[in-house]
Structure 1
């Protein structure tokens, strides 16, 4: 998200004249310097007169024909500039255009209707936020058709203040995308939500304190304590704390009973245990801790009749209700209902329009697209795939799912058209934007799709977009179906897909360079992780197989893609949300990239530059043990067959611009990654799925994580790979129950580092009661042992150095 640039670069107005056709009437604040006829026809799509209202989206600065060249140089001080800037690849920065076209019936005009369109050109990809103000502006223009309407819209949009909007890192965005918590990273909204305390309130000594929180009935109402681990030896003197969003409020509040060892407050981090003792409602709801043995009973219980042990206890609920009835004057208004969005306001014509800016999006995500809609359209019983089969597209033969055909066409840069005859242009545009998100893994894995996307295209700019290799275009005119200048046509009205009859001529199948049987025979670098004898369950090709047996074996197409699509369709039928589906396709695209890296090593014999090198865990005979890296398979034979099934589309992807962009992005990510020298995804896969894992490997994984994850950025990177739909911290929590004490201690060290930050506290709260109790008990025991056996514990020296030597056992419970 860019907060230093203008929100609106241009405002355009187009009219339809019965004699002259589409005309660009106004360009504010200056002419764009591009073809006005082209812009007018994009703003007034075919069939616009049949729709009372329609939204369309198109981009500028994609090609030489639609690159803007402003006539005036507005570089004077105090005047906003519309000069062209470049992205990190040296290309002109894209301008996203949101266009609203409206038809009003009027019998006094020759055609019986008035058709006008107004558009906003912006550098923000979340263009959907401008729809309310654009609706009002076009209404005003119909009432008073003058350039002043455009000027008011331009000024109103650019006056929107998002200077306090959080700017999340890549890994913070990944965490937020997969979480449904509405208070995630709320500490980043500190400036926005800090309460204003009236002087008279301060003088009276109101019971509500002015703190970094927003009060007892704020977004903390789910019981998240924004606490950082404090230096116990120095915290009472200087009150300092480390980490983003850390609080300097002391753990024990005046007049409150001290926490006991049985409850173990974890420095106020709200990691709860179920001790079987009734909880007290006396602790302030901003703390959320419940102390046993105080004689007060908690009437809240879970669905199974247990006493509530999380932060949403009776005491918290009661305090919130009381505060809601008598709001304190120092509590900020509840502006922030969901931290996934930044609340802003556009002041247009004395109307305060509330705006919700998504702060977790990536540049390849444009508008309010829907992967669920795309999948359902091309997964209906009436969906059919016509035309010849092609190895780049049909990775599972004639059983390839239509959505997988579309994904393959996207990553291999085939020319794709979405046809919506008699459909609104805005609906066609949404399918194009959804397809870009599908192929790019929602902009997280790959990129370059938006650059070759034309959400709405017509005959006027046909020469322009058809000249782009691998274009993705949305059209409403059926004439494009008969033109034959496409490789895959997707009809959104019927759900059918058509592969061009000339696909083999236009896109020759890749020459793999290694015979398929050799590809399958090549031994993997990693050992099989299946159960004993699992490799014998698969017939492996060998030189003794006759040609008929080889053909029969290779004809058994890997169905991983179809199993994945079955899982996605099942999730949709069970009403899983859009965020879940997006996360699954992000993982799918990321795994495709890791599979391609493995393919380059296994088949081509290259030192891959698009992924971690494939290596197994090594005991390090005569040297240091070394962790593994690269993509893992549950079974070596299954992995070899999957490489064979994906060989064609991987070879095709390696010749695309998307491949080159990913190579650049991966090297940049690896260089700037907070966790250096470790393939964390590989280690987590081993913890989740490995069936025969040496204790030494488990210890090395935990020790490596404990040594590297000792700051906020490494914590967020690790947590981004532990999403809730994969059981969150479950892979790490296995270490709490390991037979070796050293591994248990290292696991506690890692979880203690999570506890230092609010986001880590929220992940810890997702542990089940058994895991929480085990962690709390072992964390208390470890802290006690640090005090007694500081020089003999098998935990990282860096962790010991950060632990005060005078830390006492009583400091753990706050007593």
Structure 2
């Protein structure tokens, strides 16, 4: 992330003239080379004079008609993400536009309608709203180009040099957690580089543990249980003030590391995994000391009294990790002390900076977890609430859209229309253009899995479209447009129309002629699906009749997976879950769709370029090593047949879209740049979570995770895939496995997670029993290693370690 400059590429000003209509009055710092009438009409939507304020969004560099000339060479970190598969194309420019109608009796007709816009490469355009408001007020008072130059300079002087540049895995992990200190250690090196004063240490309060659930049913039950007990008094710790550790306490804790585990904590390599319900951790002041060079770190306290058993209505708390003790030789082993995670900002999900406009310092909160496909403020909850009933869907049924027959939910219809490349219009008659724009941006986020899975939607989105540029945006295949003029409904150049005024969905009566519902290709019997199964798929995927109604498949379809997903979303909204929780569910849904599309592609063509090949676990033998499975898997073949049959039409249509081509390119790049290679982690988590696996497979899974979790980048990638699918709880079951090899590898994996600050945070989400089991097994392992250290002289330690590794390998591959 560049520190300054290039945040704002252009500033535009438009005004509605009484006789000449919308006019573009100024382009700063240079003309864009785009038709001024098109820009002015985009900035001044229909009915703008009826709104005091309105925010709209549109994009530049989408098509030849709105490509700026000359194209500026902008250094964007996400340029490679936005570039096209078929060739080089300029970066998309997001235009945030503020329209204001100001009344004054001294003016002609008693009012003025002005629009001020900034063009930026950043998708988080909402952070520029405060400065844009002040700049437009400034222009009304002093209408001159100086106001535009001040706005341009103010935005470009915004300092983002201290903002950490997070990887894709780090951003995925950040959006799954509400902890305000996640990746806080990344804020420190930049502050030191800039010679900035060390931020004051802050007290880290305990917060509700952030657990990810496999389904909303479990989450709802947990939330309901917490709500029932919210009114019950919770116990405060009586000895918090007296629990500050002194130097002698640290020494005794170090000596205690070789005794049997206590019920409160266990020291391993300079940190502790707390078992009880701890009080807040204090990283600063006289109660804490931190160091980067191996000194002991005092970061918290814990007591035993009443901590191992909580009251029925009491919420479990996530706790801080202490690094208060060291090994017997006095040297701490942790390379990333937890004390370094003291947050430098109020919330590490955002980078806090300021924009200075004239004499005002405007606070800015830049989100660090945004992907290019999610632009501005959007709300999936609002989208789901508005289009909520299948009874409000009219028009013919199409196999690409109606995967559950006439009972297909409008949100599923919208998703199917997005991933199969249909022309979509959001109509908001007599509604502000900004409201229509928000629905278009929400639809793009929905189709892309909130930017984390698919892409290619923003580049064909027109959040506000009008008659003036109708020919241009209608020439874009599979456009997603927002309009306020009802004439577009009569023109019929669309496939699906969503009316935000009434919540109705209309399918074009000509959709069957535009997109003939051809069945998927035959030959689905490659390596897994037999000829009988292929015949079943072919029989189930019948073609619609001439009058537009469907036979057999979608008219009687029962896509239970989609129904369960919608039920989850409804329940989440009903129980007042936040926007982030709903977005995570859509990300999970799109991920599942992509993995199913990979399996379908493999069945049709014999191979797949968008996912791991589907294969089952093999135990090896006769000199061959065990081979882990991969790809989307089901507990039985009947479920797989049914899923492929119900989704065959939309999966086949998805294979011919631009998003599919982008997905092939992205998957190929991930195979090169991912730190965890040759292992489908999602498949292994599914097997641990749902399947009845053999002891051999459990051992190989845990050993593979250990071998692919040695660096910080590998830890983050593993957590980014594990946490949204159930958290470390699924892996913690290995602590209770009947075979020692599985227990040992689970402890080893958790020890490696604890070597990173982010791993410590998520280990704290384990429940009481899992943490205590980890403490007990980890101490036993450490005692055994220390015994070996004293038993063998240094000259034999390396040989002993090699023999031990060979023995472990023999136990791993041998019979149980």
Structure 2 partner of 1:640: 641
Query: Residue 570 and residue 372 in structure 1: after superposition, are their counterparts in 2 closer, same or farther (change >3 A)?
Result: same
Take 2:699 and 2:482, find their aligned partners in 1: how far apart are those partners? 53
Structure 1 partner of 2:236: none
**Are 2:351 and 1:342 aligned?**
yes
Structure 1 partner of 2:569: 568
Take 1:222 and 1:586, find their aligned partners in 2: how far apart are those partners? 25
Match of 1:94 among 72, 88, 92: 92
Contact 2:341 2:757 in 1 (8 A): no
3-state secondary structure, aligned to 1:647: helix
Cα shift at 1:50: 0.5
3-state secondary structure, aligned to 1:14: strand
Take 2:169 and 2:341, find their aligned partners in 1: how far apart are those partners? 29
Query: Residue 195 and residue 291 in structure 1: after superposition, are their counterparts in 2 closer, same or farther (change >3 A)?
Result: farther
Cα shift at 1:779: 0.6
Contact 2:404 2:554 in 1 (8 A): no
Structure 2 partner of 1:240: none
CA displacement 1:99-120 (0-9 Å, x = unmatched): 0000012233343311001000
Query: Residue 185 and residue 461 in structure 1: after superposition, are their counterparts in 2 closer, same or farther (change >3 A)?
Result: same
Match of 1:274 among 269, 273, 276: 276
Contact 1:618 1:625 in 2 (8 A): yes
Query: Residue 542 and residue 375 in structure 1: after superposition, are their counterparts in 2 closer, same or farther (change >3 A)?
Result: closer
Query: Residue 569 and residue 336 in structure 1: after superposition, are their counterparts in 2 closer, same or farther (change >3 A)?
Result: same
**Are 2:482 and 1:478 aligned?**
no
Cα shift at 1:267: 3.8
3-state secondary structure, aligned to 2:66: coil
Structure 2 partner of 1:708: 708
Contact 2:57 2:464 in 1 (8 A): yes
Report 1:73-152 matches (<5 A).
Answer: 87-89=82-84, 90-152=88-150
Structure 1 partner of 2:404: 396
**Are 2:553 and 1:558 aligned?**
no
Structure 1 partner of 2:36: 36
Query: Residue 664 and residue 109 in structure 1: after superposition, are their counterparts in 2 closer, same or farther (change >3 A)?
Result: same
Structure 2 partner of 1:367: 376
Match of 2:510 among 476, 493, 502: 502
Q: How many residues matched?
A: 711
Structure 2 partner of 1:241: none
Cα shift at 1:638: 1.2
Cα shift at 1:220: 7.1
CA displacement 1:462-498 (0-9 Å, x = unmatched): 1110000000000000000000000000001111000
Structure 2 partner of 1:607: 607
Bigger Cα displacement from structure 2, 612-621 vs 551-560: 551-560
CA displacement 1:406-429 (0-9 Å, x = unmatched): 000000110000000010000000
Query: Residue 671 and residue 590 in structure 1: after superposition, are their counterparts in 2 closer, same or farther (change >3 A)?
Result: same
Bigger Cα displacement from structure 2, 557-566 vs 765-774: 557-566
Contact 2:424 2:495 in 1 (8 A): yes
Contact 1:219 1:337 in 2 (8 A): no
Report 1:286-305 matches (<5 A).
Answer: 287-290=298-301, 303-304=311-312
CA displacement 1:251-276 (0-9 Å, x = unmatched): 99745443134231334434202399
Structure 2 partner of 1:163: 161
Structure 2 partner of 1:181: 179
Contact 1:194 1:213 in 2 (8 A): no
**Are 2:469 and 1:461 aligned?**
yes
3-state secondary structure, aligned to 2:273: coil
Cα shift at 1:311: 4.2
Structure 1 partner of 2:234: none
Take 1:689 and 1:434, find their aligned partners in 2: how far apart are those partners? 33
Structure 1 partner of 2:424: 416
3-state secondary structure, aligned to 1:562: helix
Query: Residue 116 and residue 798 in structure 1: after superposition, are their counterparts in 2 closer, same or farther (change >3 A)?
Result: farther
Contact 1:288 1:311 in 2 (8 A): no
TM-score between both structures, scaled by the size of structure 2: 0.80
Take 1:92 and 1:309, find their aligned partners in 2: how far apart are those partners? 48
Structure 1 stretches of 5 or more lacking a match? 199-209, 225-250, 317-330, 527-537, 804-815
Query: Residue 11 and residue 335 in structure 1: after superposition, are their counterparts in 2 closer, same or farther (change >3 A)?
Result: farther
Structure 1 partner of 2:436: 428
Query: Residue 304 and residue 566 in structure 1: after superposition, are their counterparts in 2 closer, same or farther (change >3 A)?
Result: closer
Take 1:542 and 1:36, find their aligned partners in 2: how far apart are those partners? 54
CA displacement 1:26-74 (0-9 Å, x = unmatched): 1111111111111011110000000011000000000000000149x9x
CA displacement 1:127-153 (0-9 Å, x = unmatched): 000000000000000000000000111
Take 1:194 and 1:140, find their aligned partners in 2: how far apart are those partners? 37
Take 1:759 and 1:799, find their aligned partners in 2: how far apart are those partners? 33
Take 1:470 and 1:145, find their aligned partners in 2: how far apart are those partners? 41
Query: Residue 799 and residue 193 in structure 1: after superposition, are their counterparts in 2 closer, same or farther (change >3 A)?
Result: farther
Structure 2 stretches of 5 or more lacking a match? 210-243, 290-297, 325-339, 543-550, 793-797, 805-816
Take 1:40 and 1:760, find their aligned partners in 2: how far apart are those partners? 51
Cα shift at 1:7: 0.5
Contact 2:4 2:157 in 1 (8 A): no
Structure 2 partner of 1:809: none
3-state secondary structure, aligned to 1:460: helix
Take 2:315 and 2:650, find their aligned partners in 1: how far apart are those partners? 55
TM-score between both structures, scaled by the size of structure 1: 0.80
Query: Residue 746 and residue 334 in structure 1: after superposition, are their counterparts in 2 closer, same or farther (change >3 A)?
Result: closer
Query: Residue 694 and residue 465 in structure 1: after superposition, are their counterparts in 2 closer, same or farther (change >3 A)?
Result: same
Structure 2 partner of 1:26: 26
Cα shift at 1:760: 0.4
Contact 1:166 1:188 in 2 (8 A): yes
Take 2:574 and 2:424, find their aligned partners in 1: how far apart are those partners? 28
Take 1:591 and 1:307, find their aligned partners in 2: how far apart are those partners? 31
3-state secondary structure, aligned to 2:451: coil
Structure 2 partner of 1:352: 361
Structure 1 partner of 2:241: none
Structure 2 partner of 1:665: 666
Cα shift at 1:336: 1.4
Query: Residue 385 and residue 273 in structure 1: after superposition, are their counterparts in 2 closer, same or farther (change >3 A)?
Result: same
Take 1:595 and 1:402, find their aligned partners in 2: how far apart are those partners? 21
3-state secondary structure, aligned to 1:782: helix
Take 1:93 and 1:308, find their aligned partners in 2: how far apart are those partners? 46
Cα shift at 1:632: 1.1
CA displacement 1:61-91 (0-9 Å, x = unmatched): 00000000149x9x9xxxx999x98853311
Structure 2 partner of 1:62: 62
Query: Residue 95 and residue 2 in structure 1: after superposition, are their counterparts in 2 closer, same or farther (change >3 A)?
Result: farther
Contact 2:699 2:741 in 1 (8 A): yes
Query: Residue 752 and residue 467 in structure 1: after superposition, are their counterparts in 2 closer, same or farther (change >3 A)?
Result: same
Cα shift at 1:678: 0.6
Structure 1 partner of 2:809: none
Structure 1 partner of 2:630: 629
Bigger Cα displacement from structure 2, 302-311 vs 61-70: 302-311
The alignment's C-alpha RMSD in Å is 4.0
Structure 2 partner of 1:760: 759
3-state secondary structure, aligned to 1:461: helix
Match of 1:284 among 262, 283, 287: 287
Cα shift at 1:305: 9.6
Cα shift at 1:571: 0.8
Cα shift at 1:189: 1.1
Query: Residue 275 and residue 442 in structure 1: after superposition, are their counterparts in 2 closer, same or farther (change >3 A)?
Result: closer
Structure 2 partner of 1:678: 679
Structure 1 partner of 2:699: 699
**Are 2:786 and 1:787 aligned?**
yes
